[in-house]
Structure 1
């Protein structure tokens, strides 16, 4: 079939796979010998190491990325009508003039507003009326459409209103590298103050004096959070005092207020340890440690009702470990774990994720059997917030005020759009506050289910599935399987308006809740990291084989999708089981594990030794090398791939996927397409704005549908 076939009408009459013929040759990156050495003497050759340029200025490198983009444009040209159709379907489901659910704080209702045709949100607040309801007296805090004008990328990471409601501090990012700039605005006059703080994380807290702002400064190279400083509005930023400096570069740092607004706390966390230090918000001084850090002891603390409430994995008074966490209390002057008193016990079958404190009750976010739930602890007992589907996601929403019997929570599933409810903990009355509007979507046409897959070592892996009703398990369907599997991050079955376009074309969508996440508790995470990382990859492959055996998908019509650490997963399964997948979708993939983890100047490296291992130690080096996607590419037939990255990505640097694709092309013996798209104006999360990311997804999904031979015409 000729590449001149470009009309949607013709696309819909022919198998899409026919469009992959007569392709131009892909770019060929130059090879330049380079030895990567480890402290223990091991060396590896990296012929594409030269593609790394921390400043993003090397002309040869930029030319190569542009050539790859031009190649994608040429290859994808016949699929432009399908890409446009997918984009229009997705955007057509969006209610463009839409407000978020308002929440009340200090006499104001806060919410975001989108307007028709605008890419960015407007942050708005309205005064609370005498009866507490939302008045019509609205004030625009930030109009991101104005602030983003003329910029290729724009994002607000955090914004905070002073305690007297008069001043606004906000952190903006203009290239996606997550190095934020803080600016200040007077909300009464609209004046933008000259004070500008650069190179910070999006984490801001006002003191009670309404002129002092605490913020976290980043290291300009590693982007690690290294110092907490305080800025007094109207004084030179260069004179900002350091109130805390973290010397251990394996820790992340953040700052916030407690539930009762009495304390400002600095929290530092590594993969296996935590520490909090706090100072009175009314008169900030020394930040006093709540409990000294200790390896393998993690905790997070909040203050309300005259006491500290702490979620921790520290052993209890009986000396037993608490990997799934427990909740303890401590007096306000607590400075050690010896003062902690048991409150909510540890359970082997329930993982405690977090909690929210109220005057009359406490809400605990938990996981059991791979699903989320909310437990309400009340003076007269406890109960659970109910769910109605076999696979769903439920979590605490914004609950900004403690003096209320109403709990707000979110609920969603693979068939139910994101929904915000509030339930009265005294009467059990439930109110629907908002369901995400999805134009033209009818949930009754779709079905979701939860299945369990036995992995090769006997572990039971939960899998969430969704498809359009009428689907037959006859082994003929195309399927997209997604997973992440790292950092203890759980991938819950959330609704996706994008995936509706796949379901309407007869596809099955599956989320594999593999080890490395925390869906089944802390052990599930521990069994998918460090020297057990291979479980993450084999779990994913075992899930695919099971779903194919059970007729959910045709053996030759399976696509796999993952991003970031999920891109590591994609690279690993491509090496281990290339015949299992017809196409791989890999976004901002972490594929050069050993080289990256050998370089402490790269953002995230030192923070993650307890996630991946430190390859400066030979046992870790050897194990990481055994699965590193870049190092394990070999001369074999690989599936079709769509690989994406952002030039300004600070979490997975662009050169990892660039090198990976270049070496893959050298070794790949198949004729299946490999395309590599670099967004030259974006970072880890892709383009900013609510519509642009859908163009990127539409392009990727058009590629996938083509490779799977899925009809371009959706069911109606």
Structure 2
């Protein structure tokens, strides 16, 4: 599926005081170092809607050009203030960064996989922020042929992202999508692999999603220049101007986004149209002499509300994952000859289940590998054509398995990864015929001993009686006496599940006595589709109360001290943090909100903002009064009140296309104006990046070390 989520330069101030802008005369909380926090002008603005108007004093901070000098001055002032407040923590920040890097094997590489006669892999050189991508013909022992030297390509760019690369069927060329701004407006590039010479085929403002239809034709998705929604699939023939590209498909309904791909057997190119509650798929035979045309794409099943499906093809049949008569999805099959008969010809491969949620699948010759969830864990099951099923076993209470790269269907060996909050990600392959399992690679974590840590799965009672799964990890020997610091994380939106994994940046926290918890709250899909349904639209507040109830349960069970709890979430998880801050501020010592979606109503009223229109089924359409009223009742920006809030660290990226920078900017400005406490509120603005912050693995470690140092300070953890 191709769903998207709202899923992060500092300016030195020589005087040590932040720039003050004219405006609010409200009393400001004292800063920890005596410097006053930034103040910003209030300019009343009325946000209108079919269901009422609201005053927004900070609406003026929105500038779609990102050139308003007064707005930029305020963002720089916030960065300067954060610098001043965090200056004393620089030694600790460096210690945390060094500890993280010490747990990273710097010259690591991926497990090679076979595709069309070549073994593909990527590898990092020591000290490099980006990997080299290469391939070897026939065997992994021959000299490598370099596809991309990303460290060289990234030079001179403060942001760099290479994505969606695809090799042509004849193995001669590679196409890729590249972004050097962070706005997710990628450009198409193509080069000859043998010579390394780029062609003149350059197309701008596309999605990072490419498909070779034949050796000279590339399918790509064009974005709307305003909303950034991918809405047109075009076919580009190498050597011809982009203006002559064939329009293959255009999606008129702006509540749908789209993706493109090839089937497992490479017989078809498919266009998938997705919304929150429905989708449809159109596929065309590829590799023939005739050029692709709109008429070549055949609709597999028409869209309908509450009907979702994803189809793949191998041999002479289609396999489909669908929620038709199966809330938690099932697999069905249909022969090529019966496809025109529609869903009436679909035949079940797996039964519908109330407890097993099918996440994904991969067809192989003679069997299907199924990626599923049960009891809050993600696992793998193999189903052969005779109907025999076998599950891949695990030895820990909280873990995750996931299908890895499996590009060759004519093999009994299935690759998958296994990991937990204690066990580093391990790549396995299992034989579907014999059950034999072998380890291909254990992700190296230098200086880390899994035996020193303990993972648990506990079930926290929510206020309505629902049991919420929680994955825990802590250092062996940590006393469960109500004194430990707790770091709690969750996401809880879009049906995206948060799976446990070892994080090099978290080991130092565990060694300092932290308990780390992932709250698998409603709004995710860890417990099936019903878990998601119970945490979105008019049930969204369940996500917030689940998170709060998990915190209270862990404190009551003496996993943590009541006054030593830090919470973190990003993007839609940042909405969670904003809701929690308003609903239960006394339960948290610190809240970390990265790129938070906090101005829900205003954003969802504006169809020109990227993501808005095809998220009506996630949050609701505020043009309809029930949704307007409900969203208004929890939108963090609209519910800031004159009361005490915990210490807060908020992050954003100026070029973010998923959650626009002005949402957290307005939220911080309003909090500074209204909140009554003297707790620090820090706002870190990445002036050169988008939703994920600056790129490069070491740059991310540096960014994380900053808020981690602040967290240790606020929770009183020994350095």
Give the alignment's TM-score, normalised by structure 1: 0.94
Aligned counterpart, 1:582: 589
Alignment correspondent of 2:3:
none
1:328 and 2:332 matched: yes
Say whether the 8 Å CA contact 2:124–2:130 is kept in structure 1.
Answer: yes
Match of 1:346 among 333, 348, 352: 352
- The answer on 1:280 being equivalent to 2:280 is no
Deviation by residue 1:260-281 (Cα, 9 ceiling, x = unmatched): 1100000001000010001001
Q: 2:548 aligns with which of 535, 541, 544?
A: 541
Alpha-carbon distance, 1:509 to partner: 0.2
Aligned equivalents of 1:314 and 1:361: distance in 2?
22
| Structure 2 residue corresponding to 1:244, chosen from 221, 244, 249 | 249
Matched with 1:427 is: 434
What is the 5 A alignment of 1:639-650?
639-650=646-657
- Equivalent in the alignment of 1:440: 447
Instruction: Decide whether the 8 Å contact of 1:23 with 1:75 is kept in 2.
Output: no
Equivalent in the alignment of 2:105: 95
Q: How does 1:670-709 map to 2 (within 5 A)?
A: 670-709=677-716
TM-score between both structures, scaled by the size of structure 2: 0.94
Which residue pairs with 1:520 in the alignment?
527
Say yes or no: does 1:224 pair with 2:254.
Answer: no
Contact 1:262-1:282 at 8 Å conserved across structures? yes
CA displacement at 1:460 relative to structure 2: 0.7
CA distance in 2, matches of 1:495, 1:117: 21
SS, match of residue 664 in structure 2? helix
C-alpha separation between the residues in 1 aligned to 2:647 and 2:602?
A: 26
Where does residue 337 of structure 1 map in the other structure? 343
Q: Quote the Cα distance in structure 1 between the aligned partners of 2:73 and 2:243.
A: 39
1:655 equivalent in structure 2? 662
Match of 2:116 among 106, 115, 120: 106
- Does residue 195 (structure 1) correspond to residue 201 (structure 2)? The answer is yes
1:11 is matched with none
Instruction: Give CA deviations for 1:442-483 in whole Å, capped at 9, x if unaligned.
Output: 111000000001111010100000000011110001000000
Deviation at 1:379, TM superposition (A): 4.4
In the other structure, the counterpart of 2:43 is 32
Displacement after TM superposition at 1:360 (Å):
2.3
Q: 1:153 to 1:91 in 2, by over 3 A?
A: same
1:425 Cα deviation after fit: 1.7
Q: Which has the higher contact order (CA 8 A, sep 6+)?
A: 2
* Aligned match of 1:254: 259
SS at 2:200 equivalent:
strand
Q: 1:194 is paired with a residue of what secondary structure?
A: coil
Q: Which residue of 2 aligns with 1:305?
A: 315
Deviates more, 1:324-333 or 1:145-154: 324-333
Partner Cα distance (2:455, 2:651) in 1: 29
Q: CA–CA distance in 2 between the matches of 1:155 and 1:503?
A: 32
State yes or no: 1:270 paired with 2:280. Answer: no
Cα distance in 2 for partners of 1:48, 1:169 equals 43
Contact 2:31 2:37 in 1 (8 A): no
Q: Which runs of 5+ in 1 are unaligned?
A: 1-18, 316-321
Distance 1:188 1:157 in 2: 20
The CA deviation at 1:194 is: 1.1
1:147 and 2:153 aligned: yes
CA contact (8 A) 2:32 2:680 kept: no
Q: Distance in 1 between matches of 2:425 and 2:614?
A: 33
C-alpha RMSD of the superposition: 1.1
The CA deviation at 1:400 is 0.7
Equivalent residue runs for 1:9-48 within 5 Å: 21-40=32-51, 42-48=52-58
CA distance in 2, matches of 1:633, 1:655: 16
Residues 536-587 of structure 1: CA deviation (Å, up to 9, x unaligned): 0000000000000000110000000000000000000100000000000000
CA contact (8 A) 1:127 1:135 kept: no
- Give the deviation of 1:22 after TM superposition: 3.2
Taking the aligned partners of 1:649 and 1:531, their CA distance within structure 2 comes to 27
For residues 138 and 230 of structure 1, what CA distance do their matches in structure 2 show? 31
Q: Which residue of 1 aligns with 2:407?
A: 400
* Distance in structure 1 (CA, Å) of the matches to 2:34 and 2:667: 21
Q: Identify the residue that residue 597 of structure 1 maps to in structure 2.
A: 604
Cα distance in 2 between the residues matched to 1:361 and 1:86: 47
**Matched positions, count:** 682
Q: SS at the partner of 1:705?
A: helix
Matches of 1:516 and 1:162, distance apart in 2:
39
- Aligned counterparts of 1:87 and 1:188: Cα–Cα separation in 2: 39
Which of 363, 367, 374 is the equivalent residue of 2:369? 363
2:94 paired with 1:84: yes
1:378 aligns with 2:369: no
What is the CA–CA distance in structure 1 between the aligned matches of 2:708 and 2:622, rounded to whole Å? 36
Matched-pair contact (CA < 8 Å) for 1:582–1:640: yes
Q: CA deviation at 1:20?
A: 7.6
Residue 184 of structure 1 aligns to a residue whose secondary structure is: strand
- Residue 291 of structure 1 pairs with residue 295 of structure 2: no
What secondary structure, in the 3-state scheme, does the structure 2 residue paired with 1:136 have? coil
Q: 1:373 offset after TM fit, Å?
A: 1.2
**Residue equivalent to 2:16:** none
Q: Secondary structure at the match of 1:73?
A: helix
Once residues 504 and 220 of structure 1 are traced to their aligned partners in structure 2, the CA distance between those partners, rounded to angstroms, is 48
Kindly indicate whether the alpha-carbon contact (under 8 Å) linking 2:32 and 2:85 is maintained by their aligned counterparts in 1.
no
Does the Cα contact within 8 Å between 2:33 and 2:85 map onto a contact in 1? no
Aligned counterpart, 1:56: 66
Deviation string 1:374-429 (CA, Å, 9 cap, x unpaired) is 11112462111111111111110001100111010000100111110111122222
Residues 482 and 510 in structure 1, CA contact (< 8 A), matched pair in contact too = yes
Distance in 1, matches of 2:577 and 2:103, equals 29
Aligned partners of 2:554, 2:621: CA distance in 1, in Å?
A: 36
The answer for the alignment partner of 2:624 in structure 1 is 617
Is structure 2 residue 540 aligned with structure 1 residue 530?
no
Matched residue SS, 1:98: coil
Deviation at 1:29, TM superposition (A): 1.1
What displacement does 1:135 show?
Answer: 2.7
SS in 2 for 1:383: strand
Cα distance in structure 1, aligned partners of 2:481 and 2:62: 47
**Alpha-carbon offset, residue 168 of structure 1:** 0.6
**CA offsets 1:141-171 (integer angstroms, 9 cap, x no match):** 0111111110110001210000000011010
More displaced 10-residue stretch of structure 1: 374-383 or 588-597: 374-383
SS of alignment partner, residue 554 of structure 2: helix
* Secondary structure of 2:194 counterpart: coil
SS at match of 2:142: strand
Equivalent residue for 2:133? 123
Q: Is the 8 A contact 1:232 1:240 kept in 2?
A: yes
